[in-house]
């Protein structure tokens, strides 16, 4: 699988397997994804939407001779209280923010059966910039301790928020993971900023939010030309412009299709035509 090299030197696969909303099927689906060839996994310490321990169990089941933890890119998230199920908070909700971050990270390390995370992502900005920076400093301490290789932020749709975080941070964000849809103009300004700052932009909700793109004649014509499906064309386009899409498919066939995007390459004029859709 092709990969990008982050500003930190960490290599990130150009497509990640997303583990949200898999519940009891998480272990099986993660193991299946790895066996098909996925080497990057995205999860979160958020029992409300993720079965993080199942991700760890699935990884353990899929490792075999010739494949070790070091071959995988593991990315999880610290989810603030506002994003947690009040009945299933994985850290002490009464603890100070820095302790919540540290406790969440320890739970993730145990769940994923690893001593380090390749990336720890802040699941969303906190209500105030001060709180966001306080959490970020706690995440920086985890990088210092060798428990996380790099840091990122998700669900950050205001350029000024990302600029503020970047300017204040001692350890700069290496990842921005956002929903990829028309309502935010596909984060055009944010993606430009990310390119300038060597931040890897990751997209989620990439297929389900964009049926109009998948059915557009520009995309369907390319699908015909390359004998691929529309989802493969969109995913390949994104990887070629420096975006890492997440796929959460439950289908083994679709997993193979998603990985097969690296078997072909769109030309520069074709990239320009698809770009005009966004």
What's residue 245's pLDDT? 98
> Residue 170 in contact with residue 138, Cβ under 8 Å?
no
- Please report how the helices 52-62 and 97-112 are oriented relative to each other, as an axis angle in degrees rounded to 10: 30
Q: Give per-residue pLDDT as tens, 135-161.
A: 999 999 999 999 999 999 999 999 999
Percent of the chain with pLDDT strictly greater than 70: 100
DSSP of 78-109, one letter per residue?
Answer: E--GGGS-TT--SS-TTS-HHHHHHHHHHHHH
Q: What integer best gives the mean pLDDT of the chain?
A: 98
Q: Give per-residue pLDDT as tens, 34-85.
A: 999 999 999 999 999 999 999 999 999 999 999 999 999 999 999 999 999 9
235 pLDDT band (50/70/90 cuts)? very high
d(CA 214, CA 236): 13
Cα dihedral 185, 40, 7, 278, rounded to 10, equals -20
123-161 CB burial, b ≥16 within 10 A, e <16? bbbbeeeeebbebbbbbbbbbeeebbbbbbbbbbeeeee
> Residue 187 in contact with residue 201, Cβ under 8 Å?
yes
Give residues with Cβ within 8 angstroms of 70, minimum separation 6.
none
Q: How far is CA 30 from CA 62, 144, 162, 219, 268, in A?
A: 8, 29, 31, 29, 34
**In the chain, what are the domains?**
3-209 (3.20.20.100)
Q: Give per-residue pLDDT as tens, 32-46.
A: 999 999 999 999 999
- Mean pLDDT across the stretch 225-245? 98
Q: Is 174 helix (H, G, I), strand (E, B) or coil?
A: coil
1 pLDDT band (50/70/90 cuts)? confident
* Bridging pattern class, strands 200-204 and 243-247: parallel
What's residue 194's pLDDT? 98
The token duo for 36 is 């098909």
Q: Give per-residue pLDDT as tens, 103-115.
A: 999 999 999 999 9
Q: What's the predicted TM-score (pTM) here? A: 0.97
Range list of β-strands (E), the chain: 3-5, 11-13, 16-18, 40-42, 73-78, 119-122, 151-154, 175-179, 200-204, 243-247
Q: Give per-residue pLDDT as tens, 184-233.
A: 999 999 999 999 999 999 999 999 999 999 999 999 999 999 999 999 99
Q: What angle do CA 6, 8, 11 make, to 5 degrees?
A: 45
């Amino acid at each position: 699988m092709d990969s990008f090299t982050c500003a930190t030197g960490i290599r990130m696969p150009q497509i990640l397997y997303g583990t949200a909303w898999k519940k009891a099927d998480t272990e099986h689906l993660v193991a299946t994804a790895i066996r098909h060839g996925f080497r990057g996994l995205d999860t979160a310490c958020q029992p409300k939407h993720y079965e993080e321990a199942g991700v760890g169990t699935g990884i353990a089941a899929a490792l075999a001779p010739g494949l070790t933890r070091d071959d995988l890119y593991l990315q999880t998230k610290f989810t603030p209280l506002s994003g947690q199920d009040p009945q299933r908070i994985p850290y002490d909700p009464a603890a100070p923010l820095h302790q919540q971050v540290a406790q969440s990270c320890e739970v993730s390390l145990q769940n994923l059966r690893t001593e380090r995370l390749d990336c720890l992502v802040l699941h969303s900005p906190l209500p105030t910039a001060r709180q966001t920076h306080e959490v970020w400093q706690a995440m920086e301490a985890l990088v210092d301790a060798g428990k996380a290789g790099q840091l990122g932020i998700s669900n950050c749709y205001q350029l000024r928020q990302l600029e503020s975080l970047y300017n204040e941070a001692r350890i700069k964000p290496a990842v921005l993971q956002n929903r990829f849809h028309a309502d935010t103009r596909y984060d055009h300004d944010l993606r430009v900023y990310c390119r300038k700052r060597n931040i890897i932009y990751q997209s989620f909700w990439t297929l389900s939010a964009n049926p109009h793109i998948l059915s557009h004649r520009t995309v369907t014509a390319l699908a015909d030309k390359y004998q691929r499906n529309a989802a493969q064309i969109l995913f390949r386009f994104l990887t070629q412009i420096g975006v890492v899409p997440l796929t959460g498919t439950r289908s083994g066939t679709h997993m193979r299709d998603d990985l097969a995007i690296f078997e072909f390459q769109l030309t520069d004029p074709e990239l320009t035509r698809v770009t005009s859709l966004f």
